[in-house]
């Protein structure tokens, strides 16, 4: 049988608030400065697609910022952020594959739909975000209560 364990998450309201404010601010600044949506998968796809997106400079800058964040924390605090991944590598690969399918069929990810699309009152983004959240809740319920983790 599948062995599962309970994954507990710490309640960090101030860190969560700060992270949300920074994501919102970055999204607004990108929209104001370049008129672009801050959807992480779209930004990454624009870098990886050979000639479809000639505007790779700002995309690379955003991806560099996402990757260099932990390095900035290391410089400021002397420690890298703690990252715990309590699942096996096959589960990570499966999860990544499922997320890839979801963002393809949903025409975007949680950052594009949940942060930017909902702020623009896009019906499609509101429907997508509701679908993300309902699916997440159902998955957690099944894993914790049906499968007994």
pLDDT at 95: 82
CA distance 129 to 148: 27
pTM of the entire predicted model: 0.69
Low-confidence ranges of the chain (pLDDT < 50): 1
pLDDT at 132: 85
Number of Cβ within a 10 Å radius of residue 39? 25
pLDDT at 134: 92
Cα angle: 71, vertex 14, 125; to 5 degrees: 85
């Amino acid at each position: 049988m599948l062995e599962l364990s309970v994954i507990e998450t710490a309640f960090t309201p101030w860190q969560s608030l700060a992270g949300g404010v920074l994501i919102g601010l970055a999204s607004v600044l990108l929209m104001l400065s370049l008129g672009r949506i801050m959807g992480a998968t779209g930004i990454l796809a624009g870098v990886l697609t050979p000639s479809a997106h000639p505007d790779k400079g700002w995309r690379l800058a955003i991806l560099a910022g996402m990757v260099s964040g932990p390095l900035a924390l290391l410089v400021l605090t002397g420690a890298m952020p703690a990252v715990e991944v309590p699942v096996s590598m096959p589960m990570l690969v499966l999860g990544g594959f499922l997320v890839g399918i979801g963002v393809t069929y949903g025409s975007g990810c949680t950052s594009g739909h949940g942060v930017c699309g909902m702020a623009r009152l896009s019906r499609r983004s509101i429907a997508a975000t509701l679908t993300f959240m309902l699916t997440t809740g159902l998955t957690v319920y099944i894993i914790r209560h049906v499968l007994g983790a």
